[in-house]
Amino acid sequence: MLKIKDIKKSFGKKEVLKGISTIFPEKKTTVIVGPSGSGKTTLLRSLDLLVKPDFGIIEFDDLKINFSEPFTNKTANALRDKTSMVFQNWNLFPNLTILQNITEAPIYVQKVNKTTANKQAHELLTEVGLDEYADAYPSELSGGQQQRISICRALAVKPEYILLDEPTSALDPEMETQVLEMLERLSDQGQSMIMVTHNMQFAKNAADKILFIENGKADFDGTKDEFFSTSSPRVKEFLHGIS
Ligand code: ADP
């Protein structure tokens, strides 16, 4: 299980994360919500060490980094390997086919043999109904299809958790629905997920846990039912503002 304790991060003089502690339960979907600029993306990126916190602890089972103490690249890489990030704008490699995009990391980073990697990629593509595009290039696919491929790419390395940073914010509503349906299925299948989103319908449908970040702090940390029935005036105001 992934745990964080008192994570702090500043950019220059601006303290963006002011000491966040929580756990991200395994096989559950944690949704991170909150106003723009509150630190959600910085928190998510900290989990993948794309952002290096200044202070605090990230722990995954027996792996632990205390950012106040030296740690080895080996530990950092081992922790990084537990997660796989899906970006807002999918970031597929334009010069590689869909199949190559998905098998790149398994083959060249994880040293999985090519036949096995291709087979697994076809299975993922079949599951999302996109296997017919295996040999196409990203530019031949719609944004929603490309984002679904980028989720397959994240799953292909078999991470413990997939991390998603507003995965549908660049999509029109119809494509957003396709991607959210895929994510809801993954959530139902027990894939551990941590997702930053403004989509409250997704949170209602799929979240097990909600973290409400405001001004670099976790102002709410609890179940979906607690969140949507909370008496916290600030959460109510937030929900009212985006509905
Ligand atoms: P959110 O995801 O909630 O919109 P972010 O984590 O993206 O918030 O950003 C929180 C604050 O940190 C913002 O004020 C943003 O401008 C600032 N910030 C984020 N990343 C950087 C960076 N690499 N350098 C400087 N400031 C940053």
- Is there an atom of ligand 1 within 6 Å of 215 CB? no
d(CA 102, CA 209): 29
- Is there an atom of ligand 1 within 6 Å of 118 CB? no
The stretches of 16-72 forming alpha helices (DSSP H) are: 40-47
- Is there an atom of ligand 1 within 6 Å of 16 CB? yes
- Is there an atom of ligand 1 within 6 Å of 41 CB? yes
d(CA 159, CA 105): 12
Q: Per-residue pLDDT tens for 64-117?
A: 999 999 999 999 999 999 999 999 888 899 999 999 999 999 999 999 999 999
In which band, very low, low, confident or very high, does the pLDDT at 243 lie, cut at 50, 70 and 90?
low
Q: Per-residue pLDDT tens for 15-59?
A: 999 999 999 999 999 999 999 999 999 999 999 999 999 999 999
**Nearest-5° Cα angle at 145, 144 to 150:** 95
- Is there an atom of ligand 1 within 6 Å of 40 CB? yes
Question: Is the ipTM above a cut-off of 0.95?
Answer: yes
In angstroms, what is the span from residue 109 Cα to ligand 1's centroid? 30
Average pLDDT (127-155) is 95
* pLDDT value at residue 230: 87
Average pLDDT (217-224) is 95
Give the nearest ligand 1 atom to 51 CA. 23
- Residue located nearest, by CA, to atom 18 of ligand 1: 11
Kindly list the strands in the beta sheet with 29-33, ordered across the sheet, starting from the edge strand earlier in the chain: 83-86, 161-165, 192-196, 29-33, 209-214, 217-223
In angstroms, what is the span from residue 12 Cα to ligand 1's centroid? 11
- Is there an atom of ligand 1 within 6 Å of 73 CB? no
d(CA 241, CA 93): 37
